[in-house]
Amino acid sequence: MDAIQPGGPQVRLLDLIEAMRKLRRAACASHPDPGVVTDARGAALAILAPDGTFVSVNRSAAALLGYSSAELVGKSLVELAPDDAHAALADELSASAARDFHSFTAVLTGRTGHPTRLALHQQRVPTKAMDSAVSLTLFEEPLMVEPRSADPVDLLDASERLCQTYLMIGQQKERQRLASELHDGLGQALTLVKLMTEDALMRIRRGQVDDAVQLLDSTVFRIRETIGDVRQICGELRPLMLDKLGLPAALGSLCRRIERGTEAMSVVFDCDVADNDVPEHLKADMFRVAQEALNNAVKHADATEISLSLRGDAARLMLTIQDNGIGYESHPFATDEAYASGLGLIGMQHRVEMHGGAFSIESSATSGTLVCATWTR
Ligand SMILES: Nc1ncnc2c1ncn2[C@@H]1O[C@H](COP(=O)(O)OP(=O)(O)O)[C@@H](O)[C@H]1O
Ligand SMILES: [Mg+2]
């Protein structure tokens, strides 16, 4: 979480930890899917003043709202709600200020202007100034899962809950990565372009036209690079790429991009299914599994050849990614290891199993690694 501003409310770490424990307990009692909400260490958390002003906010929460942590500090949560929801949100915040724990839902629009309903769980944390308290706020985004009955017998069993938790951690990580990609990559590139253009302008004013022309040439080059970066980031966002091109073409373009970006690597793509043959709800999973397995092959396998294949018959659809690299020892992952080593393998497995598919990996030092995901039709 970003540091609390000097001069702002002083919260003791011990109080914060205690508040986390209480938040976890209270959220568990009030929420039907406790594992989903509180098991995720990438949870979106903020410390809010009683009027909803962000005192401190972690990257997950900031990314959920489309901002960086620094941009949100000092802003009020109420500003992020649509105008007609300001009063209701302010009421909820005063209800929170009067209680130790309060849970409510709110529609927040964030930077994109796209309204999202979020659940907020607030736990009061005492501050050094005895007359004031801030609240530790957990933001929870509704998961895209099938609606279920609230009947206890229908509640998810432990492994399904764990599965959803992994998915949520995966989502959070993905958001964090995209947010920092946009912020650090695109933000920095645009700042540089602005500085170069200002420099060129200054030179023109001073009559140093040749210098300015040189500078503008490199600015154009830099802009071209930035357009490439934007394309790359867009290409990683599911709706744009999949909806525009369809799954087979999106996979083909992924392969070409990997091949172009890696020296001496050939990526062969083989697909005998049409976009219409793939159920809509599986497309994003297939794309993500292919993306992760290809990236793993590039990052870890020391491979020179990868083949990605998507094949289908009347009974099933099968996605395979084979590399000719060094393979790895398969070992079971505990949740903690998943955090430490990235969520790639476990994320792929859960993505596939979540929609009834079967996932397997075969790996050997001599024949490389084969990742295989199969869904019955
Ligand atoms: N295709 C592969 N070839 C060799 N090793 C691999 C391959 N895919 C994954 N691994 C190994 O498995 C580990 C876990 O992979 P993953 O869960 O995707 O996490 P990450 O890619 O973030 O390290 C990797 O760190 C690597 O050691
Ligand atoms: Mg990986």
Domain ranges of the chain: 2-144, 145-237, 245-376
- Decide: helix, strand or coil at residue 8: coil
Q: Among the bound ligands, name the one nearest to the CA of residue 333.
A: 1
For CA atoms 36, 42, 44, 50, give the dihedral sign.
Answer: positive
Number of residues that this document lists for the chain:
377
Centre of ligand 2 from the C-alpha of residue 345, in Å = 7
How far is ligand 2, taken at its centre, from the CA of residue 344, in Å? 4
Q: What is the pLDDT of residue 92?
A: 94
**Angle, CA of 237, 235 and 349, to the nearest 5°:** 60
Task: Identify the residue whose C-alpha is closest to ligand 1 atom 25.
Answer: 341
39 lines ligand 1 (CB under 6 A): no
Between the CA of 180 and the centroid of ligand 1 the distance, in Å, is 22
Cβ of residue 341 lying under 6 Å from some atom of ligand 1:
yes
Which pLDDT score is estimated for 284?
Answer: 84
Separation CA 76–CA 132 (nearest Å)? 17
Half-sphere exposure of 67 (CA within 13 A, CB side): 24
Q: Which of 177, 289, 300 to mutate to test the pocket of ligand 1 (most atoms within 8 A of CB)?
A: 300
Report the chain's C-alpha Rg in angstroms.
Answer: 24
- What does the buried/exposed string (b/e) look like for 219-229 if buried means 16 or more CB atoms within 10 Å of the residue's CB? beebeeebeee
User: Consecutive sets of 10 residues in the chain, 377 residues long: mean pLDDT of each?
Assistant: 55 68 68 42 78 86 81 92 92 90 88 79 78 83 49 52 64 66 72 86 93 92 85 65 86 90 90 93 89 89 95 95 83 42 69 86 89 94
Q: Ligand 1: does its nearest atom lie under 6 Å from the Cβ of 78?
A: no
Pure H helices in 31-157: 34-38, 59-64, 69-72, 86-97
Q: Is the CB of 57 under 6 A from ligand 1?
A: no
Cα of 198 to ligand 1 centre, how many Å? 45
Query: Can you give the pLDDT at residue 332?
Result: 44
The ligand with the least distance to the CA atom of 346 is 1
* H or E element that contains 362: strand 358-364
What was the pLDDT predicted at 95?
92
The answer, yes or no, to whether any atom of ligand 1 lies below 6 A from the CB of 323, is: yes
Q: Is the CB of 322 under 6 A from ligand 1?
A: no
Distance CA 100, CA 266 (A): 59
CATH superfamily of 2-144: PAS domain (3.30.450.20)
Instruction: Give the model's pLDDT for residue 194.
Output: 84
Residue located via tokens 């099938």: 146
Q: Is the CB of 368 under 6 A from ligand 1?
A: no
Q: Tell me which residue has its CA closest to atom 3 in ligand 1.
A: 301
Contacts of 296 (CB under 8 A, 6+ apart): 344, 345, 369, 371
Residue owning the nearest CA to atom 24 of ligand 1: 300
Instruction: Name the residue at shortest CA distance from atom 22 of ligand 1.
Output: 342
Q: What local confidence, expressed as pLDDT, does residue 322 receive?
A: 97
Residue of the nearest CA to atom 9 in ligand 1? 296
271-310 residue pLDDT tens: 999 999 999 889 888 998 998 899 889 988 989 999 999 9
Q: Of ligand 1's atoms, which has the minimum distance to the CA of residue 296?
A: 8
**Ligand 1 pocket residue status of 250, Cβ below 6 Å:** no
CATH number listed for the domain at residues 245-376: 3.30.565.10
> Distance from first CA to last CA of the chain, Å, rounded?
44
Chain centre to alpha carbon of residue 134: 27
Nearest CA to ligand 1 atom 10: 300
* CA-CA-CA-CA torsion sign (179, 260, 274, 305): negative
